[in-house]
Protein backbone atom coordinates (compact mmCIF):
# COMPACT_ATOMS: atom_id res chain seq x y z
CA UNK A 1 0.00 0.00 0.00
CA UNK A 2 1.27 3.47 -0.77
CA UNK A 3 2.54 5.51 2.13
CA UNK A 4 0.81 8.56 0.85
CA UNK A 5 -1.61 9.93 3.43
CA UNK A 6 -4.23 10.79 0.80
CA UNK A 7 -4.39 11.60 -2.88
CA UNK A 8 -4.28 15.24 -3.91
CA UNK A 9 -7.44 16.85 -5.20
CA UNK A 10 -5.88 17.49 -8.60
CA UNK A 11 -4.94 13.85 -9.03
CA UNK A 12 -8.44 12.73 -8.11
CA UNK A 13 -10.05 15.12 -10.54
CA UNK A 14 -7.57 14.05 -13.22
CA UNK A 15 -8.43 10.38 -12.66
CA UNK A 16 -12.10 11.15 -13.06
CA UNK A 17 -11.44 13.17 -16.20
CA UNK A 18 -9.57 10.29 -17.85
CA UNK A 19 -12.70 8.16 -17.68
CA UNK A 20 -14.89 10.67 -19.48
CA UNK A 21 -12.46 12.34 -21.90
CA UNK A 22 -12.75 11.51 -25.61
CA UNK A 23 -10.11 9.18 -27.03
CA UNK A 24 -8.65 11.77 -29.39
CA UNK A 25 -7.75 14.12 -26.49
CA UNK A 26 -6.31 11.67 -23.97
CA UNK A 27 -2.75 11.29 -25.28
CA UNK A 28 -1.62 14.87 -25.76
CA UNK A 29 0.36 16.90 -23.25
CA UNK A 30 -1.86 19.92 -23.72
CA UNK A 31 -5.01 17.98 -22.94
CA UNK A 32 -3.38 16.43 -19.84
CA UNK A 33 -2.33 19.90 -18.60
CA UNK A 34 -5.87 21.13 -19.22
CA UNK A 35 -7.31 18.26 -17.22
CA UNK A 36 -4.92 18.21 -14.26
CA UNK A 37 -3.87 21.87 -14.14
CA UNK A 38 -0.49 23.13 -13.02
CA UNK A 39 0.47 21.37 -9.75
CA UNK A 40 1.07 23.70 -6.80
CA UNK A 41 4.33 23.09 -4.94
CA UNK A 42 3.78 21.83 -1.42
CA UNK A 43 5.63 24.70 0.22
CA UNK A 44 3.47 27.18 -1.70
CA UNK A 45 0.31 25.35 -0.71
CA UNK A 46 1.34 25.54 2.95
CA UNK A 47 2.01 29.27 2.59
CA UNK A 48 -1.39 29.74 0.96
CA UNK A 49 -3.16 27.88 3.77
CA UNK A 50 -1.37 30.01 6.39
CA UNK A 51 -2.30 33.22 4.57
CA UNK A 52 -5.91 32.03 4.43
CA UNK A 53 -5.86 31.31 8.17
CA UNK A 54 -4.54 34.79 8.88
CA UNK A 55 -7.06 36.59 6.68
CA UNK A 56 -10.10 34.71 8.04
CA UNK A 57 -9.07 35.11 11.68
CA UNK A 58 -8.39 38.82 11.10
CA UNK A 59 -11.77 39.34 9.43
CA UNK A 60 -13.53 37.72 12.40
CA UNK A 61 -12.12 40.54 14.54
CA UNK A 62 -12.23 43.38 12.02
CA UNK A 63 -15.81 43.04 10.76
CA UNK A 64 -17.61 43.68 14.10
CA UNK A 65 -15.25 46.55 14.93
CA UNK A 66 -15.75 48.12 11.49
CA UNK A 67 -19.52 47.82 11.77
CA UNK A 68 -19.41 49.51 15.18
CA UNK A 69 -17.18 52.27 13.82
CA UNK A 70 -19.53 52.94 10.88
CA UNK A 71 -22.46 53.34 13.26
CA UNK A 72 -20.57 55.87 15.41
CA UNK A 73 -19.74 53.49 18.23
CA UNK A 74 -16.18 54.87 18.58
CA UNK A 75 -15.26 58.39 19.57
CA UNK A 76 -12.27 58.23 17.22
CA UNK A 77 -13.16 59.02 13.62
CA UNK A 78 -9.83 57.84 12.20
CA UNK A 79 -10.18 54.41 10.60
CA UNK A 80 -6.54 53.62 11.32
CA UNK A 81 -7.32 53.60 15.05
CA UNK A 82 -9.91 50.88 14.52
CA UNK A 83 -7.50 48.93 12.31
CA UNK A 84 -4.83 49.02 15.02
CA UNK A 85 -7.40 47.96 17.60
CA UNK A 86 -8.31 44.99 15.43
CA UNK A 87 -4.61 44.08 15.23
CA UNK A 88 -4.27 44.32 19.01
CA UNK A 89 -7.28 42.06 19.53
CA UNK A 90 -5.93 39.59 16.97
CA UNK A 91 -2.63 39.41 18.83
CA UNK A 92 -4.35 39.12 22.21
CA UNK A 93 -6.53 36.34 20.81
CA UNK A 94 -3.37 34.40 20.01
CA UNK A 95 -1.98 34.87 23.52
CA UNK A 96 0.43 37.73 22.82
CA UNK A 97 0.68 40.05 25.87
CA UNK A 98 0.32 43.77 25.16
CA UNK A 99 2.23 46.49 26.97
CA UNK A 100 -0.16 49.26 28.06
CA UNK A 101 0.97 52.76 29.01
CA UNK A 102 -1.49 55.34 30.35
CA UNK A 103 -0.52 58.82 31.48
CA UNK A 104 -2.32 61.94 32.63
CA UNK A 105 0.54 64.35 32.07
CA UNK A 106 3.65 64.97 30.00
CA UNK A 107 6.13 63.78 32.63
CA UNK A 108 7.24 60.19 32.87
CA UNK A 109 6.32 60.13 36.57
CA UNK A 110 2.63 60.36 35.66
CA UNK A 111 2.74 57.29 33.40
CA UNK A 112 1.22 54.00 34.47
CA UNK A 113 2.46 50.87 32.73
CA UNK A 114 1.10 47.37 32.78
CA UNK A 115 0.57 44.22 30.72
CA UNK A 116 -2.71 43.20 29.12
CA UNK A 117 -2.56 39.41 29.14
CA UNK A 118 -6.13 38.10 29.58
CA UNK A 119 -6.53 35.57 26.76
CA UNK A 120 -10.03 35.30 25.23
CA UNK A 121 -10.04 31.53 24.80
CA UNK A 122 -13.11 31.60 22.59
CA UNK A 123 -11.29 33.84 20.13
CA UNK A 124 -8.15 31.67 20.33
CA UNK A 125 -10.19 28.67 19.19
CA UNK A 126 -10.75 30.29 15.77
CA UNK A 127 -7.11 30.13 14.52
CA UNK A 128 -6.79 26.71 16.14
CA UNK A 129 -9.77 25.32 14.20
CA UNK A 130 -8.65 27.02 10.99
CA UNK A 131 -5.19 25.46 11.32
CA UNK A 132 -6.83 22.10 12.09
CA UNK A 133 -8.64 22.32 8.76
CA UNK A 134 -5.45 23.42 6.99
CA UNK A 135 -3.50 20.50 8.47
CA UNK A 136 -5.99 18.02 7.07
CA UNK A 137 -5.86 19.63 3.64
CA UNK A 138 -2.07 19.61 3.60
CA UNK A 139 -1.95 15.96 4.70
CA UNK A 140 -4.23 14.99 1.83
CA UNK A 141 -1.88 16.65 -0.64
CA UNK A 142 1.42 15.25 0.68
CA UNK A 143 3.38 12.03 0.87
CA UNK A 144 4.58 10.96 4.31
CA UNK A 145 8.14 12.08 3.70
CA UNK A 146 7.02 15.41 2.18
CA UNK A 147 4.55 16.67 4.78
CA UNK A 148 7.20 18.67 6.58
CA UNK A 149 7.49 21.03 3.59
CA UNK A 150 3.97 22.55 3.66
CA UNK A 151 3.85 22.47 7.47
CA UNK A 152 7.14 24.35 7.75
CA UNK A 153 6.14 26.96 5.18
CA UNK A 154 2.73 27.42 6.86
CA UNK A 155 4.35 28.02 10.24
CA UNK A 156 6.87 30.45 8.72
CA UNK A 157 4.20 32.48 6.95
CA UNK A 158 2.01 32.64 10.06
CA UNK A 159 4.98 33.76 12.15
CA UNK A 160 5.69 36.49 9.59
CA UNK A 161 2.05 37.60 9.76
CA UNK A 162 2.29 37.89 13.54
CA UNK A 163 5.53 39.87 13.29
CA UNK A 164 4.00 42.26 10.74
CA UNK A 165 0.88 42.74 12.87
CA UNK A 166 2.88 43.48 15.99
CA UNK A 167 5.13 45.93 14.12
CA UNK A 168 2.36 47.82 12.32
CA UNK A 169 -0.11 48.01 15.21
CA UNK A 170 2.30 49.05 17.98
CA UNK A 171 1.80 52.59 19.24
CA UNK A 172 3.19 54.34 22.35
CA UNK A 173 0.08 53.60 24.43
CA UNK A 174 -0.32 49.94 23.36
CA UNK A 175 2.58 47.92 21.97
CA UNK A 176 3.34 44.27 21.39
CA UNK A 177 6.80 42.71 21.81
CA UNK A 178 7.97 41.73 18.34
CA UNK A 179 9.51 38.44 19.44
CA UNK A 180 6.30 37.41 21.21
CA UNK A 181 4.24 38.54 18.22
CA UNK A 182 6.33 36.26 16.01
CA UNK A 183 6.51 33.12 18.13
CA UNK A 184 3.35 32.93 20.25
CA UNK A 185 0.77 32.93 17.39
CA UNK A 186 2.62 29.91 15.98
CA UNK A 187 1.62 27.84 19.05
CA UNK A 188 -2.15 27.53 18.41
CA UNK A 189 -1.54 27.40 14.65
CA UNK A 190 1.16 24.73 14.91
CA UNK A 191 -0.84 22.58 17.33
CA UNK A 192 -3.86 22.74 15.02
CA UNK A 193 -1.77 21.84 11.98
CA UNK A 194 -0.25 18.81 13.70
CA UNK A 195 -3.57 17.55 15.08
CA UNK A 196 -5.32 18.02 11.74
CA UNK A 197 -2.54 16.22 9.89
CA UNK A 198 -2.59 13.38 12.41
CA UNK A 199 -6.34 12.89 12.12
CA UNK A 200 -6.18 12.88 8.33
CA UNK A 201 -3.25 10.46 8.28
CA UNK A 202 -4.99 8.11 10.70
CA UNK A 203 -1.83 7.21 12.63
CA UNK A 204 1.48 8.68 13.69
CA UNK A 205 3.31 6.11 11.58
CA UNK A 206 1.76 7.44 8.38
CA UNK A 207 2.42 10.98 9.54
CA UNK A 208 6.09 10.73 10.57
CA UNK A 209 7.06 7.41 9.01
CA UNK A 210 7.66 5.59 12.33
CA UNK A 211 5.58 2.54 13.17
CA UNK A 212 4.71 2.63 16.86
CA UNK A 213 3.40 -0.95 16.76
CA UNK A 214 6.84 -2.27 15.81
CA UNK A 215 8.43 -0.34 18.67
CA UNK A 216 5.87 -1.63 21.18
CA UNK A 217 6.35 -5.22 19.94
CA UNK A 218 10.00 -5.05 21.00
CA UNK A 219 9.12 -4.31 24.62
CA UNK A 220 8.39 -6.89 27.30
CA UNK A 221 4.93 -7.83 28.54
CA UNK A 222 5.51 -6.00 31.82
CA UNK A 223 6.51 -2.84 29.97
CA UNK A 224 3.41 -3.05 27.79
CA UNK A 225 1.22 -3.47 30.86
CA UNK A 226 2.88 -0.50 32.56
CA UNK A 227 2.48 1.61 29.43
CA UNK A 228 -1.20 0.72 29.04
CA UNK A 229 -1.76 1.49 32.74
CA UNK A 230 -0.16 4.93 32.46
CA UNK A 231 -2.04 5.70 29.25
CA UNK A 232 -5.36 4.68 30.83
CA UNK A 233 -4.58 6.83 33.88
CA UNK A 234 -3.99 9.86 31.66
CA UNK A 235 -7.22 9.27 29.78
CA UNK A 236 -9.09 8.87 33.05
CA UNK A 237 -7.67 12.18 34.28
CA UNK A 238 -8.82 13.81 31.06
CA UNK A 239 -12.31 12.32 31.44
CA UNK A 240 -12.49 13.60 35.02
CA UNK A 241 -11.43 17.09 33.99
CA UNK A 242 -13.81 17.28 31.03
CA UNK A 243 -16.69 15.94 33.13
CA UNK A 244 -16.05 18.51 35.84
CA UNK A 245 -15.71 21.29 33.27
CA UNK A 246 -18.95 20.27 31.55
CA UNK A 247 -20.86 20.22 34.82
CA UNK A 248 -19.38 23.60 35.76
CA UNK A 249 -20.39 25.04 32.39
CA UNK A 250 -23.92 23.73 32.97
CA UNK A 251 -23.91 25.42 36.38
CA UNK A 252 -22.78 28.65 34.71
CA UNK A 253 -25.57 28.43 32.13
CA UNK A 254 -28.19 27.90 34.85
CA UNK A 255 -26.85 30.88 36.77
CA UNK A 256 -26.92 33.10 33.67
CA UNK A 257 -30.50 32.07 32.96
CA UNK A 258 -31.53 32.77 36.55
CA UNK A 259 -29.90 36.23 36.56
CA UNK A 260 -30.94 37.19 33.03
CA UNK A 261 -33.00 40.16 34.23
CA UNK A 262 -29.92 41.69 35.89
CA UNK A 263 -27.87 41.11 32.72
CA UNK A 264 -30.56 42.75 30.57
CA UNK A 265 -30.65 45.73 32.95
CA UNK A 266 -26.95 46.37 32.33
CA UNK A 267 -27.52 46.20 28.56
CA UNK A 268 -30.32 48.75 28.86
CA UNK A 269 -28.19 51.05 30.99
CA UNK A 270 -25.33 50.98 28.47
CA UNK A 271 -27.59 51.65 25.45
CA UNK A 272 -25.06 50.29 22.96
CA UNK A 273 -27.49 50.14 20.03
CA UNK A 274 -28.11 47.17 17.79
CA UNK A 275 -24.63 46.94 16.27
CA UNK A 276 -22.84 47.90 19.47
CA UNK A 277 -24.91 45.41 21.45
CA UNK A 278 -24.07 42.64 18.97
CA UNK A 279 -20.36 43.50 19.17
CA UNK A 280 -20.50 43.56 22.97
CA UNK A 281 -22.21 40.17 22.96
CA UNK A 282 -19.57 38.71 20.64
CA UNK A 283 -16.82 40.08 22.89
CA UNK A 284 -18.41 38.40 25.91
CA UNK A 285 -18.80 35.13 23.98
CA UNK A 286 -15.04 35.19 23.35
CA UNK A 287 -14.58 34.99 27.13
CA UNK A 288 -17.25 32.36 27.79
CA UNK A 289 -14.67 29.52 27.92
CA UNK A 290 -12.76 31.59 30.49
CA UNK A 291 -15.92 31.93 32.57
CA UNK A 292 -16.56 28.18 32.32
CA UNK A 293 -13.04 27.48 33.62
CA UNK A 294 -13.52 30.04 36.39
CA UNK A 295 -16.76 28.25 37.28
CA UNK A 296 -14.73 25.04 37.59
CA UNK A 297 -12.35 26.79 39.99
CA UNK A 298 -15.38 28.09 41.90
CA UNK A 299 -16.93 24.62 42.08
CA UNK A 300 -13.62 23.18 43.23
CA UNK A 301 -13.58 25.49 46.24
CA UNK A 302 -10.61 27.74 45.45
CA UNK A 303 -12.71 30.36 43.68
CA UNK A 304 -11.31 33.13 41.50
CA UNK A 305 -10.36 36.79 41.70
CA UNK A 306 -11.89 39.78 39.96
CA UNK A 307 -9.09 42.16 40.74
CA UNK A 308 -6.94 42.80 43.77
CA UNK A 309 -8.90 42.20 46.95
CA UNK A 310 -11.97 40.74 45.21
CA UNK A 311 -12.70 37.03 45.60
CA UNK A 312 -15.57 34.85 44.40
CA UNK A 313 -15.82 31.45 46.13
CA UNK A 314 -18.57 28.96 47.02
CA UNK A 315 -18.64 30.14 50.62
CA UNK A 316 -19.03 33.83 49.86
CA UNK A 317 -18.27 36.68 47.48
CA UNK A 318 -16.40 39.87 48.28
CA UNK A 319 -16.07 41.97 45.13
CA UNK A 320 -15.32 45.65 44.74
CA UNK A 321 -17.14 47.66 42.03
CA UNK A 322 -16.64 46.01 38.65
CA UNK A 323 -16.87 47.44 35.12
CA UNK A 324 -20.38 47.61 33.57
CA UNK A 325 -20.07 44.30 31.70
CA UNK A 326 -23.45 42.53 31.43
CA UNK A 327 -22.18 39.04 32.29
CA UNK A 328 -20.64 40.28 35.53
CA UNK A 329 -24.15 41.05 36.77
CA UNK A 330 -24.63 37.29 37.21
CA UNK A 331 -21.92 37.02 39.86
CA UNK A 332 -23.12 35.26 43.01
CA UNK A 333 -23.30 37.71 45.88
CA UNK A 334 -23.27 37.44 49.65
CA UNK A 335 -22.94 34.31 51.75
CA UNK A 336 -24.35 31.20 50.07
CA UNK A 337 -25.46 28.40 52.34
CA UNK A 338 -25.77 26.08 49.34
CA UNK A 339 -22.33 26.88 47.93
CA UNK A 340 -20.65 23.87 49.52
CA UNK A 341 -22.82 21.62 47.33
CA UNK A 342 -20.80 22.74 44.31
CA UNK A 343 -17.81 20.87 45.77
CA UNK A 344 -19.53 17.67 44.70
CA UNK A 345 -18.96 18.47 41.01
CA UNK A 346 -15.26 17.40 40.90
CA UNK A 347 -16.07 14.42 43.13
CA UNK A 348 -18.79 13.24 40.74
CA UNK A 349 -16.41 13.75 37.82
CA UNK A 350 -13.80 11.64 39.60
CA UNK A 351 -16.37 8.94 40.30
CA UNK A 352 -17.16 8.73 36.58
CA UNK A 353 -13.45 8.58 35.77
CA UNK A 354 -12.84 5.80 38.28
CA UNK A 355 -15.77 3.81 36.90
CA UNK A 356 -14.45 4.27 33.37
CA UNK A 357 -10.96 3.17 34.42
CA UNK A 358 -12.25 -0.10 35.85
CA UNK A 359 -14.37 -0.69 32.74
CA UNK A 360 -11.26 -0.21 30.59
CA UNK A 361 -9.80 -3.32 32.24
CA UNK A 362 -6.25 -1.96 32.53
CA UNK A 363 -5.88 -1.98 36.31
CA UNK A 364 -2.56 -3.83 36.14
CA UNK A 365 -1.19 -2.31 39.34
CA UNK A 366 -4.05 -3.89 41.30
CA UNK A 367 -3.38 -7.21 39.57
CA UNK A 368 0.33 -7.01 40.42
CA UNK A 369 -0.31 -5.94 44.01
CA UNK A 370 -2.88 -8.71 44.55
CA UNK A 371 -0.21 -11.23 43.52
CA UNK A 372 2.36 -9.73 45.90
CA UNK A 373 -0.06 -9.25 48.81
CA UNK A 374 -2.37 -12.23 49.19
CA UNK A 375 -4.62 -10.54 51.76
CA UNK A 376 -7.29 -8.89 49.58
CA UNK A 377 -8.45 -6.66 52.42
CA UNK A 378 -4.96 -5.11 52.32
CA UNK A 379 -4.16 -5.07 48.59
CA UNK A 380 -7.48 -3.56 47.50
CA UNK A 381 -7.24 -0.39 49.67
CA UNK A 382 -3.60 0.03 48.64
CA UNK A 383 -4.27 -0.18 44.90
CA UNK A 384 -7.39 2.00 45.24
CA UNK A 385 -5.47 4.70 47.09
CA UNK A 386 -2.69 4.56 44.50
CA UNK A 387 -5.20 4.77 41.64
CA UNK A 388 -6.95 7.79 43.15
CA UNK A 389 -3.60 9.51 43.67
CA UNK A 390 -2.24 9.04 40.15
CA UNK A 391 -5.51 9.99 38.41
CA UNK A 392 -5.90 12.95 40.77
CA UNK A 393 -2.38 14.13 39.91
CA UNK A 394 -3.17 13.70 36.21
CA UNK A 395 -6.36 15.78 36.51
CA UNK A 396 -4.51 18.34 38.61
CA UNK A 397 -1.81 18.84 35.98
CA UNK A 398 -4.32 19.20 33.15
CA UNK A 399 -6.52 21.57 35.14
CA UNK A 400 -3.48 23.70 35.98
CA UNK A 401 -3.00 24.29 32.25
CA UNK A 402 -6.63 25.40 31.88
CA UNK A 403 -6.49 27.69 34.92
CA UNK A 404 -3.23 29.21 33.73
CA UNK A 405 -4.64 29.89 30.26
CA UNK A 406 -7.85 31.43 31.62
CA UNK A 407 -6.32 33.92 34.07
CA UNK A 408 -4.60 37.18 33.20
CA UNK A 409 -4.46 40.91 33.67
CA UNK A 410 -6.19 43.95 32.18
CA UNK A 411 -2.98 45.93 32.41
CA UNK A 412 -3.35 48.67 34.99
CA UNK A 413 -5.48 49.60 37.95
CA UNK A 414 -7.15 47.16 40.29
CA UNK A 415 -7.92 44.55 37.61
CA UNK A 416 -4.35 43.32 37.38
CA UNK A 417 -5.33 39.78 38.37
CA UNK A 418 -8.41 38.13 36.94
CA UNK A 419 -9.23 34.47 37.31
CA UNK A 420 -8.15 31.67 39.65
CA UNK A 421 -4.75 31.06 41.12
CA UNK A 422 -3.63 28.14 38.91
CA UNK A 423 -1.78 26.11 41.53
CA UNK A 424 -4.31 26.51 44.33
CA UNK A 425 -7.30 25.75 42.11
CA UNK A 426 -5.55 22.75 40.54
CA UNK A 427 -4.72 21.30 43.97
CA UNK A 428 -8.37 21.52 45.02
CA UNK A 429 -9.53 19.83 41.80
CA UNK A 430 -6.90 17.10 42.06
CA UNK A 431 -7.81 16.24 45.66
CA UNK A 432 -11.55 16.09 44.98
CA UNK A 433 -11.11 14.09 41.79
CA UNK A 434 -8.89 11.61 43.66
CA UNK A 435 -11.64 11.11 46.24
CA UNK A 436 -14.20 10.51 43.51
CA UNK A 437 -11.91 8.09 41.67
CA UNK A 438 -11.51 5.94 44.76
CA UNK A 439 -15.27 5.82 45.26
CA UNK A 440 -15.89 5.07 41.59
CA UNK A 441 -13.33 2.29 41.40
CA UNK A 442 -14.78 0.63 44.51
CA UNK A 443 -18.36 0.92 43.30
CA UNK A 444 -17.58 -0.16 39.73
CA UNK A 445 -17.72 -3.95 40.40
CA UNK A 446 -21.22 -3.55 41.84
CA UNK A 447 -22.28 -1.21 39.05
CA UNK A 448 -20.98 -3.73 36.52
CA UNK A 449 -22.62 -6.70 38.24
CA UNK A 450 -19.35 -8.10 39.67
CA UNK A 451 -20.11 -8.75 43.34
CA UNK A 452 -17.21 -10.96 44.23
CA UNK A 453 -14.96 -8.03 45.13
CA UNK A 454 -12.30 -9.02 42.61
CA UNK A 455 -11.00 -6.42 40.16
CA UNK A 456 -12.48 -6.40 36.69
CA UNK A 457 -9.98 -7.96 34.34
CA UNK A 458 -9.27 -6.81 30.83
CA UNK A 459 -11.71 -8.02 28.22
CA UNK A 460 -8.94 -8.90 25.81
CA UNK A 461 -6.22 -9.96 28.27
CA UNK A 462 -3.36 -11.84 26.72
CA UNK A 463 -2.55 -15.25 28.10
CA UNK A 464 1.08 -15.42 29.19
CA UNK A 465 2.54 -18.82 29.84
Q: What is the pLDDT along the chain (465 residues), one digit of tens a residue?
A: 344 444 344 444 444 444 444 333 334 444 444 444 456 788 899 999 999 999 999 999 999 998 888 887 777 777 888 899 999 999 999 999 999 887 655 555 556 778 899 999 999 999 999 999 999 998 888 777 788 888 999 999 999 999 999 999 988 888 899 999 999 999 999 999 999 988 887 776 666 665 555 555 666 666 777 778 889 999 999 999 999 999 999 999 999 998 899 899 988 888 888 888 888 889 999 999 999 999 999 999 888 988 877 888 887 777 777 788 888 888 877 667 777 888 999 999 999 999 999 888 777 777 777 777 777 777 788 888 999 999 999 999 999 999 999 999 987 777 888 999 999 999 999 999 999 999 998 888 787 765 544 444 444 344 333
Q: Smallest Cα–Cα separation from 156: which of 206, 109, 106, 190? A: 190
Distance CA(168)–CA(174), nearest Å, equals: 12
Distance CA(7)–CA(49), nearest Å, equals: 18
Q: Can you tell me whether residue 426 is helix, strand or coil?
A: helix
* Confidence (pLDDT) at 222: 63
* Confidence (pLDDT) at 209: 60
| Pairing state between β 418-419 and 304-306 | antiparallel
Q: Which residues of 161-199 are buried (b: 16+ CB within 10 A; e: fewer)?
A: bbbebbeebbeeebbbbeebbbebbbebbbebbeebbbe
Question: What does each C-alpha distance from 363 to 129, 223, 229, 395 come to in angstroms?
Answer: 35, 14, 6, 18
Boundaries of every domain in the chain = 40-208, 220-447
**Do residues 317 and 333 touch, judged by C-beta distance below 8 A?**
yes
* Confidence (pLDDT) at 341: 85
* Confidence (pLDDT) at 454: 46
Strand ranges inside 216-371, DSSP E? 304-306, 311-313, 316-318
* Confidence (pLDDT) at 24: 38
* Confidence (pLDDT) at 207: 67
Count the Cβ atoms, other than its own, within 10 Å of residue 157: 20
Alpha carbons within 13 angstroms on the beta-carbon side of residue 217 total: 4
Distance CA(458)–CA(451), nearest Å, equals: 17
Alpha carbons within 13 angstroms on the beta-carbon side of residue 112 total: 10
| β-pair partners for 103 | 111
Distance CA(60)–CA(161), nearest Å, equals: 16
Kindly state the DSSP code that residue 462 receives in the 8-state scheme.
P
Amino acid sequence: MSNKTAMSNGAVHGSEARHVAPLETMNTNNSKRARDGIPMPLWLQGAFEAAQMFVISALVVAIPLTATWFTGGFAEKDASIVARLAGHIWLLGHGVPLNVTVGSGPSSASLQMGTLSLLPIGLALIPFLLSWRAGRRLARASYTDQLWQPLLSAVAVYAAAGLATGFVCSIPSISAPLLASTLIPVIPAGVGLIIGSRLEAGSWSRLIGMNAADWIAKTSQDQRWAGSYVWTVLRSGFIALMSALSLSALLLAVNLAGRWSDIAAVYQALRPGAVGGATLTLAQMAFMPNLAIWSLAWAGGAGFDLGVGSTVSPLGTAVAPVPPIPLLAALPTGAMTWGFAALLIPVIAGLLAGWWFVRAGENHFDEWLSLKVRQRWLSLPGSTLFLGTVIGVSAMAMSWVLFWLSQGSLGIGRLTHLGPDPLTAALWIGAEVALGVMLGSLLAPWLEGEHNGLPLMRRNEEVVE
